[in-house]
Chains A and B, each alone.
Chain A
Amino acid sequence: MKEGNNLLEIKNLNKSYGKTQVLKDVNITIEDNKIYGLLGRNGVGKTTLLNIISSQILRHSGEVLLDNEDVFENAKAMEQICFVKDRGIAFEENKIKELFKMAKFIYKDWDDEYKNYLVKEFNLNTNKKYEKLSRGYQTIVGLIIGLASRSRITIFDEPSLGLDAAFRYKFYNLLLEDYEKNPRTIIISTHLIDEVNNLFEEIIILSEGKVMFKEETDSLMESAYFLSGKEENLLEIINTKKIISREEFGTTVILGIFDNLSEDEIQDLKNKGIEISQIPLQKLFVYLTEQNVLKEENI
Chain B
Amino acid sequence: MDSTKRMIKFQNYGDRKSLEVFWLIMIAINIFSYILNYYIGTNSKAFYFSIGNSSTMSVAGLNVSVAFIYLLVVGICMYYKYFPIAIGFSVTRKSFYKSVIVSNITTCLTMAIISGLLLKVDRFIIAAIGREALVDFAFFNIVDDNIIYIIFSLFIQFLITISISNFFGVLLYRLGAVKFWGGVLLLFIVIQSNHFKIVKNILDSLGKIFTTRITPINLIYLLIIGLILYSLSYFIIMRTDVKVGAGEKS
Please determine whether A102 and B244 come into contact, CB atoms closer than 8 angstroms: no
Q: Determine how close the nearest CB of chain A comes to the CB of B246; give it in whole angstroms.
A: 11
Please determine whether B13 and A105 come into contact, CB atoms closer than 8 angstroms: yes
Bound-complex Cα distance A103 to B88 (A): 10
Specify which chain A residues have a CB less than 8 angstroms from the CB of B72 in the assembled complex.
none
8 Å CB interface, A69-107 against B: 73-75, 78-83, 85-87, 89-91, 101-103, 105-107
Q: Does A56 contact B (CB under 8 A)?
A: yes
Taking A56-B87, A83-B88 as contacts, is the C-beta distance between A51 and B4 under 8 angstroms? no
- Smallest Cβ-Cβ distance to B11: which chain A residue: A105
8 Å CB interface, B1-47 against A: 1-4, 6-7, 9-10, 13
| B residues contacting the other copy or chain, number (CB 8 A) | 33
Contact of B85 among A55, A73, A87, A89 (CB under 8 A): A89
Bound-complex Cα distance A108 to B242 (A): 22
- Smallest Cβ-Cβ distance to B94: which chain A residue: A73
Q: Determine how close the nearest CB of chain B comes to the CB of A154; give it in whole angstroms.
A: 11
Please determine whether A102 and B10 come into contact, CB atoms closer than 8 angstroms: yes
- Smallest Cβ-Cβ distance to B84: which chain A residue: A90
Taking A73-B92, A74-B92, A90-B84 as contacts, is the C-beta distance between A48 and B7 under 8 angstroms? no
Q: Does B249 contact A (CB under 8 A)?
A: yes
- Smallest Cβ-Cβ distance to A23: which chain B residue: B250
Contact of A78 among B92, B248, B250 (CB under 8 A): B92
Binds B, one of A39-47, A111-119, A239-247: A39-47
Taking A48-B250, A51-B244, A108-B1 as contacts, is the C-beta distance between A102 and B85 under 8 angstroms? yes
Contact of B89 among A22, A47, A74, A103 (CB under 8 A): A103
Bound-complex Cα distance A58 to B93 (A): 11
Bound-complex Cα distance A83 to B89 (A): 7
Q: Determine how close the nearest CB of chain A comes to the CB of B20; give it in whole angstroms.
A: 14
Bound-complex Cα distance A106 to B81 (A): 16
Bound-complex Cα distance A55 to B84 (A): 11
Specify which chain B residues have a CB less than 8 angstroms from the CB of A44 in the assembled complex.
250
Q: Does A151 contact B (CB under 8 A)?
A: yes
Please determine whether A105 and B85 come into contact, CB atoms closer than 8 angstroms: no
Please determine whether A82 and B250 come into contact, CB atoms closer than 8 angstroms: no
Chain B contact residues, majority secondary structure:
helix
Q: Does A238 contact B (CB under 8 A)?
A: no
Bound-complex Cα distance A280 to B250 (A): 26
Please determine whether A73 and B93 come into contact, CB atoms closer than 8 angstroms: yes
Please determine whether A75 and B4 come into contact, CB atoms closer than 8 angstroms: yes
Q: Does A174 contact B (CB under 8 A)?
A: no
Please determine whether B241 and A58 come into contact, CB atoms closer than 8 angstroms: yes
- Convert B84-109 into 0s and 1s, putting 1 for each residue whose CB lies closer than 8 angstroms to a CB of A: 11111111111100000000000000
Specify which chain B residues have a CB less than 8 angstroms from the CB of A192 in the assembled complex.
none
Q: Determine how close the nearest CB of chain A comes to the CB of B91; give it in whole angstroms.
A: 6
Please determine whether B89 and A102 come into contact, CB atoms closer than 8 angstroms: yes
Can you list 18 pairs linking A and B with CB atoms under 8 Å apart?
A17-B248, A47-B244, A51-B242, A54-B90, A55-B93, A56-B241, A56-B242, A57-B241, A73-B93, A75-B92, A82-B90, A83-B88, A83-B90, A91-B85, A102-B10, A105-B10, A106-B91, A151-B90
Closest 8 CB pairs of A and B: A105-B10, A57-B241, A106-B89, A90-B85, A56-B242, A90-B84, A47-B249, A75-B3
| Contacts from A to B (Cβ < 8 Å) | 17, 22, 43-48, 51, 54-58, 73-75, 78-83, 85-87, 89-91, 101-103, 105-108, 151
